[in-house]
Amino acid sequence: MLGSFLSRGTFIDVTRKKKWPTPPADDRKLAILMVLFALLMAGRVYLAENPQNNPWAPLDLRDERGWATPTKLSGLRGSIEDCRAVLDRSEVAFTPLPATGDGECRRDDRLTLGTMPFAPRFPQFTCPVAAGMVLWLEKDLQPLSEEILGGKVARIQQYGTYSCRRMYNDANAPWSEHATGNAIDIAGFILEDGRTISVLRDWGEDDEEARFLKAARDAACGNFGTVLSPEYNAAHADHFHLDQGRNPAMGACR
């Protein structure tokens, strides 16, 4: 230690702090570039291993749901060909149907799903509705049913998809998504053990069936542009309305 005595018994530490040399500016820039490159490569690896979080990766309905999934689902509304390519890629069995109808009830996008357990079977709807139904059943309904009710869903009871009409049959209202088959109404579920879950009967109860229905409604909001339940109004007291509205800004989850 360096120091000096000013007087007897007095010592002042005059240790000098060592100054480290400052790296040249070019070296600092190189270090920053190397860090950014490492972060870029790590990000690419992460997205490659987690396509559900990669907004540029093609949608595969078999992937786990990620933060990019809703955006990809929404993008299916703009192209029949792209949407059906997703079903093919996801190995979903479907049958495309020819266009039909006129005017506001023209149905250019129409198909049925081959293995979806609907009752009645084979409802006709648009491809985006089909994609939402596949995700809802596999990623939400089945896990929720097993967790809450202790069994799997065997049948999805549906009221229908297509009806050439305006909303609430009001001549001054906007056209319903049902007018183009871009919606489906769900009345309830039948479990593998034969139990039935009814929106009309069970929604307002304080039991496991009601808990399941509310969880199923909430989960549907991640797969469809609009989800309406008995909480919305009396017209939906006996079913869930699910649609892939052509205007995402008009969507609702009620």
Q: Which of the four pLDDT bands, split at 50, 70 and 90, describes residue 118?
A: very high
Q: Is the pLDDT of residue 145 over 50?
A: yes
Classify 96 in phi/psi space as left (phi over 0), alpha (psi -120 to 50) or beta. beta
Q: Is the pLDDT of residue 78 over 80?
A: yes
Q: Is the pLDDT of residue 46 over 50?
A: no
Q: Looking at residues 88-95, what average pLDDT do you find?
A: 98
Q: How many residues appear in the chain?
A: 254
Range of lowest pLDDT (11-15, 29-33, 119-123, 243-247): 11-15
As to burial, measured by CB atoms within 10 angstroms (0-12 exposed, 13-18 middle, 19+ buried), residue 61 is buried
pLDDT at 6: 46
* Alpha-carbon span 209 to 230, nearest angstrom: 15
Tally of CB atoms within 10 A around 83:
24
Cβ-proximal residues to 16 (8 Å cutoff; 6+ apart), any chain = 2
Q: Which two tokens stand for residue 128?
A: 């985006």
Q: Looking at residues 114-143, what average pLDDT do you find?
A: 97
Q: What are the pLDDT digits (tens) for 197-221?
A: 999 999 999 999 999 999 999 999 9
pTM of the model: 0.81
133 in Cβ contact with 146 (< 8 Å): no
Q: Which of 147, 176, 150, 149 is nearest to 163 (CA)?
A: 176
* More confident position, 143 or 37: 143
Q: Which of the four pLDDT bands, split at 50, 70 and 90, describes residue 248?
A: low
Class of domain 75-253: alpha beta
pLDDT at 250: 65
Angle, in degrees to the nearest 10, between helices 80-89 and 127-135: 30
Give φ, ψ of 127 to 5 degrees.
Answer: -60, -45
14 in Cβ contact with 26 (< 8 Å): no
Would you kindly state where each structural domain of the chain is located, as residue ranges? 75-253
Q: Looking at residues 27-50, what average pLDDT do you find?
A: 63
* Secondary structure of residue 91 in the 3-state scheme: coil
pLDDT at 32: 73
The beta strand positions in the chain, using DSSP E, are 3-7, 10-13, 94-96, 111-113, 118-119, 153-160, 183-191, 196-198, 226-228, 240-243, 252-253
172 in Cβ contact with 165 (< 8 Å): no
